[in-house]
């Protein structure tokens, strides 16, 4: 093993030898190695340059070498082992990246990175474009989580709070939202999910979705299929705990989900005059509204945007260029600013010469 570590230190270890060293680390002194693994996991997620990581690891080693003299004899061998292992781990963080691309990593090395997107605002709705071109609008305080496989082998999302989804069509990979104990599955559609500790509401605006329980011990009902303009609503206190004399049992009431409420169409008017709210509005009309509310002028060619609609909220207290960048990013459009009072919108990879427009 020492020979293997020495080969690694000199940069001569093969991929298989690096894997063997990792397995040795995994099966050695459990408490001692667990700390090294924590360092490995931490380093593997950091964005520091290799030189910065190397210097930091050396400082850790030096601090350990400078421990008290009376512990020196007992500790010196372990310090050497720590030094070698830390450097080994540092090398694994950098070196395993290459072989992980070409070989199937073991379960210990296949670190699933989880992404969390949250809306920290108390009043604003935030809109995000996901990697599969689906769009999610997070209401205040809401957040979603997904792992690195999203858009590749699955499209699974965990939701807390309220969100509106416009799902990109992909018949081979269903779009799945889990909120608490409820799972909503769609292929390409528009729907919203709202949940808290007391109830869950799922509204369908377009397409079809299925709803089922992730915990049939708590909520046992057949899979439901919603059609456009239907709403699923259920109170979550259907399981009531009772305490008999000798033991605790859970008495479950029959769960009867409602699928009868009609969804009200979103209205363009908003009680807050500084917010414009749209549901499937033509982009031409949206831009015309913006031209009325901002001092800057937005120029465009109708042929570039004639088939584009917009759903979401626009906050008039935000810079116009920020709003236009968001709209362009969602619709594969480009924007340029020939002067400080003009914005020009056009399709990617095209050249446009705009003349004054009376929009």
Is the pLDDT score of 105 beyond 80? no
Q: Is residue 58 part of a domain?
A: yes
Coil, strand or helix at 236? coil
Count Cα atoms within 13 angstroms, Cβ side, for 249.
Answer: 7
138: CB partners within 8 A, 6+ apart: 117, 118, 119, 125, 126, 127, 128, 144, 161, 162, 163
Q: Is residue 159 part of a domain?
A: yes
Helix (H) or strand (E) holding 345: strand 342-347
Coil, strand or helix at 70? helix
Is the pLDDT score of 100 beyond 60? no
In terms of domains, do 86 and 213 share one?
no
The whole-number pLDDT of residue 27 equals: 53
Last residue in a domain, options 209, 234, 262 = 262
Count Cα atoms within 13 angstroms, Cβ side, for 277.
Answer: 12
CA 6 – CA 172 distance, rounded (Å): 49
Which has more pLDDT, 33 or 216? 216
Coil, strand or helix at 186? strand
The residue behind tokens 């889990």 is 178
Q: Is residue 152 part of a domain?
A: yes
In terms of domains, do 153 and 121 share one?
yes
Q: Is residue 358 part of a domain?
A: no
DSSP symbols for 121-141: -SS--EEEE-TTS-EEEEPTT
Which has more pLDDT, 298 or 316? 298
Q: What is the mean pLDDT of residues 52-70?
A: 49
CA 135 – CA 129 distance, rounded (Å): 5
Closest CA to 173 of 224, 130, 212, 202: 130
Supply the pTM of this predicted model. Answer: 0.42
CA 225 – CA 215 distance, rounded (Å): 18
Contact 175, 154 (CB under 8 A): no
Most confident among 189-198, 229-238, 246-255, 295-304 (mean pLDDT) = 295-304
In terms of domains, do 319 and 223 share one?
no
The whole-number pLDDT of residue 349 equals: 67
In terms of domains, do 82 and 44 share one?
yes
* Terminal alpha carbon distance of the chain: 75
The CATH number for 313's domain is 3.55.50.30
Query: How many distinct structural domains can be found in the chain?
Result: 3
Is the pLDDT score of 48 beyond 90? no
CA 200 – CA 208 distance, rounded (Å): 18
Q: Which residues pair with 40 in a beta bridge?
A: none
In terms of domains, do 10 and 97 share one?
yes
Q: Which two tokens stand for residue 104?
A: 């199937």
CA 252 – CA 219 distance, rounded (Å): 8
The whole-number pLDDT of residue 97 equals: 40
Q: How far is CA 262 from CA 161, 195, 225, in A?
A: 21, 18, 15
Contact 328, 335 (CB under 8 A): yes
Least confident range of 53-67, 131-145, 158-172, 302-316:
53-67
Helix (H) or strand (E) holding 114: strand 114-118
In terms of domains, do 253 and 297 share one?
no
Least confident range of 57-61, 101-105, 236-240, 246-250:
246-250
In terms of domains, do 122 and 181 share one?
yes
Indicate the angle between helix axes 30-45 and 15-27, nearest 10 degrees: 130
Q: Using pLDDT thresholds of 50, 70 and 90, give the confidence band for residue 2.
A: low
In terms of domains, do 335 and 239 share one?
no
Domain that holds residue 128: 114-262
31: CB partners within 8 A, 6+ apart: none
Give residue-wise pLDDT tens across range 109-148.
334 568 888 888 887 888 888 888 888 888 889 999 998 8
Is the pLDDT score of 231 beyond 50? yes
Give residue-wise pLDDT tens across range 208-223.
888 888 877 777 667 8
In terms of domains, do 252 and 292 share one?
no
Least confident range of 45-59, 106-120, 268-282, 338-352:
45-59
In terms of domains, do 158 and 237 share one?
yes
Measured in degrees and rounded to the nearest 5, phi and psi for residue 152 equal -110, -70
DSSP symbols for 207-235: S-EEEEES-TTTS----EEE-TTEEEEEE
CA angle centred on 31, ends 28 and 34, rounded to 5°: 80
Contact 175, 167 (CB under 8 A): yes
CA 67 – CA 259 distance, rounded (Å): 69
Last residue in a domain, options 207, 230, 262 = 262
Coil, strand or helix at 322? helix
Alpha helices by DSSP H, the chain: 2-9, 15-27, 30-45, 50-65, 72-102, 283-293, 302-305, 320-330
């Amino acid at each position: 093993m020492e020979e293997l570590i020495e080969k690694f230190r000199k940069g001569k270890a093969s991929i298989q030898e690096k894997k063997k060293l990792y397995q040795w680390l995994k099966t050695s002194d459990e408490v001692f190695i667990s700390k090294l693994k924590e360092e490995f996991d931490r380093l593997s997620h950091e964005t520091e340059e290799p030189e910065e990581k190397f210097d930091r690891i050396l400082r850790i080693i030096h601090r350990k070498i400078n421990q008290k003299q009376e512990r020196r004899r007992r500790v010196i061998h372990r310090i050497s082992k720590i030094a070698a292992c830390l450097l080994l781990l540092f090398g694994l963080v950098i070196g395993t990246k290459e072989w992980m691309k070409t070989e199937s990593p073991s379960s210990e090395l296949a670190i699933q990175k989880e992404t969390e997107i949250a809306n920290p605002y108390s009043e604003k709705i935030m809109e995000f474009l996901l990697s599969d071109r689906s769009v999610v609008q997070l209401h205040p305080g809401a957040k979603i989580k997904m792992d690195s496989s999203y858009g590749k082998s699955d499209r699974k999302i965990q939701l807390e709070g309220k969100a509106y989804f416009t799902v990109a069509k992909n018949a081979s990979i269903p779009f799945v939202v889990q909120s608490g104990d409820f799972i909503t599955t769609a292929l390409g559609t528009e729907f919203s999910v709202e949940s808290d500790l007391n109830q869950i509401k799922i509204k369908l605006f377009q397409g079809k979705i299925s709803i089922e329980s992730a915990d049939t011990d708590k909520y046992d009902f057949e899979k439901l299929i919603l059609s456009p303009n239907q709403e699923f609503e259920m109170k979550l206190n259907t399981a009531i705990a009772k305490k008999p004399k000798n033991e605790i049992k859970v008495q479950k009431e029959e769960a009867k989900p409602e699928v009868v409420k009609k969804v009200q169409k979103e209205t363009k008017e908003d009680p807050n005059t500084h917010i414009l709210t749209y549901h499937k509005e033509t982009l031409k009309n949206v831009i015309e509204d913006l031209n009325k509310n901002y001092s800057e002028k937005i120029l465009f060619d109708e042929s570039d945007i004639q088939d584009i609609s917009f759903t979401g909220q626009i906050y008039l207290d935000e810079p116009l260029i920020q709003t236009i960048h968001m709209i362009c990013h969602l619709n594969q459009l480009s924007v340029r600013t020939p002067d400080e009072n003009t914005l020009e919108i056009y399709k990617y990879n095209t050249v446009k010469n705009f003349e004054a427009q009376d929009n």
